Amino acid sequence: MRMVKPHRSPKGLFDPYYVPERLLHRDRELGTINGVYRDSFEDEYGVNTLVHGISGVGMTVFSRYFLTKLIPEQFNSHTVYVDAKHKDTLEIISELNDKIHLETSKPITVAFDLDILWMQFKRTAASTDKRTVFVIDNIDETNEDVYSKLARLSKEIQASTIGVLNSHDYRLLTKLPATHMSYDFEIPLDTYTQSQLYDIVRMRVEDTFPHQLTEEIVRYITDLVVEFDASKPKTTVEALKALWPLASSGQEIDSDAVRSATMSITSFAHDNDYMDLIETISMNDYMTLLVLEAMSEHLMRYKTETYIDRQTLNELVEVKCEELGVRFARNDIERSLQTLIFQSIVFESGYSRNLLYVLAPPEIIYDAAIGLRRELARRK
């Protein structure tokens, strides 16, 4: 049976706790965590897990997908999620206390004292009719104690606690000799390949954008994030967030818009002095300048095309050479391209080596290339 697609809403871009209908390319990890919990439910013991990965890889969505979709489908249990980021111990424990009372529909007595709150929480958590799964998101040095306390309590009351933390805090808190972190299993979350990240971006566009984005635009966003930001889904969502107002006002998304939406990860490239760079690599190299010129001309003319394929580029350079009466061999074009790729002026798509893109606005490259070519011609 096909599910009817809910209507598109930008919630998936602006709500940090949004959980998509499907969590893509995490089948193995979801299978693992599900298996661990199935065993613990059947044999009635508590199990504590740490979920970790580099910041932005999708830790929050992984734990929330498990908590809000998989658990209710399979297990009859209470679920409690607390984001510990920037909260002190009192705030975290009050939130745990509020949520367990809400889950179990028990009245809550107002209290502001840490010990009293913890006692209330403990009493209610221990006397539930169902077992409970807790998630503490964003564990770090400042709240590690709360996680550990909860993990120990979980063991006593046959509940389970999932701690979520980024790789940095994971190393800091679990690899030190003095560690008190208690956990039975860990689920490391890997970064995605270009094609996996593409699927994630494509799905998010379908769920949230008023109109489709072209495949080229989605690939371009993906390529930039894979190449310059360790393929973090979070960065792609940030880019989509920046593009959303344009798209919803009916404007066409072109390569300029994508470059500006990903400025935070590519800004280093915009500080380049392209004139200088191109001058250095193309010293007396007429062909490399022609290749750059043809390429940037094409990208300027077709703003929604974010790539040029090698075949098209070859043809454009041939035409230029004929016009200018320059003799050339096919190899020359490829040799020039290799130099440009090596110098990080031109990039190959992670999707296909055949697709080439640039980071700098093509106008800037064009100006530099044509200026230098004319100068070379004058000197001859």
Ligand X SMILES: Nc1ncnc2c1ncn2[C@@H]1O[C@H](COP(=O)(O)OP(=O)(O)OP(=O)(O)O)[C@@H](O)[C@H]1O
Site stretch for ligand X (CB under 6 A), options 32-40, 51-59, 324-332, 341-349: 51-59
Distance from C-alpha of 245 to C-alpha of 251, rounded to nearest angstrom: 9
The 3-state DSSP composition of the chain as helix, strand, coil percent (nearest 5) reads 55, 10, 30
Among 40, 48, 49, 60, binds Mg ion (CB under 5 A): 60
107 and 114 in contact (C-beta within 8 Å)? no
Residue for token digits 């490239």?
Answer: 269
What does the buried/exposed string (b/e) look like for 347-370 if buried means 16 or more CB atoms within 10 Å of the residue's CB? Answer: bbbbbeeebbbbbbbbebbbbbbb
Kind plus residue range of the DSSP H or E element containing 308: strand 308-309
Report the residue number, 237 or 290, with the smaller CB distance to ligand X.
Answer: 237
By CB under 6 A, is residue 225 in contact with ligand X?
no
| CB atoms near residue 9 (< 10 Å) | 13
Q: Between 188 and 251, whose beta carbon lies closer to ligand X?
A: 188
Q: Which of 10, 26, 257, 340 binds ligand X (CB under 6 A)?
A: 26
Nearer to ligand X, 24 or 111 (CB): 24
For the CB of residue 31, give the shortest distance to ligand X in the complex, in Å: 14
Where does this chain touch ligand X (CB under 6 A) — which range of 15-23, 35-43, 124-132, 176-184?
A: 15-23
Count residues binding Mg ion (CB under 5 A): 1
Q: Which residue has the tokens 């011609």?
A: 377
Using CB under 6 A as the binding rule, the residues of this chain from 243 to 282 that contact ligand X are: none
φ, ψ dihedrals at 122, nearest 5°:
-60, -45
Residue 166 binds to Mg ion (criterion: CB under 5 A): no
Return the range that interacts with ligand X (CB under 6 A); candidates 54-62, 102-110, 253-261, 288-296.
54-62
Pick out residues in 212-251 that bind Mg ion (CB under 5 A): none
- How far is Cα of residue 300 from the mean position of the Cα atoms in its chain? 29
How many helices and strands, by DSSP H and E, does the chain display?
18, 8
What residue is closest to ligand X based on CB?
58
Among 36, 47, 50, 61, binds ligand X (CB under 6 A): 61
Instruction: Examine residue 55 and tell whether it contacts ligand X (CB under 6 A).
Output: yes
Are 138 and 164 spatial neighbours (Cβ–Cβ below 8 Å)?
yes
Q: Which of 8, 25, 149, 155 binds ligand X (CB under 6 A)?
A: 25
Residues that bind ligand X (CB under 6 A): 18, 20, 23-26, 55-61, 166, 200, 233-234, 237
Residues that bind Mg ion (CB under 5 A): 60
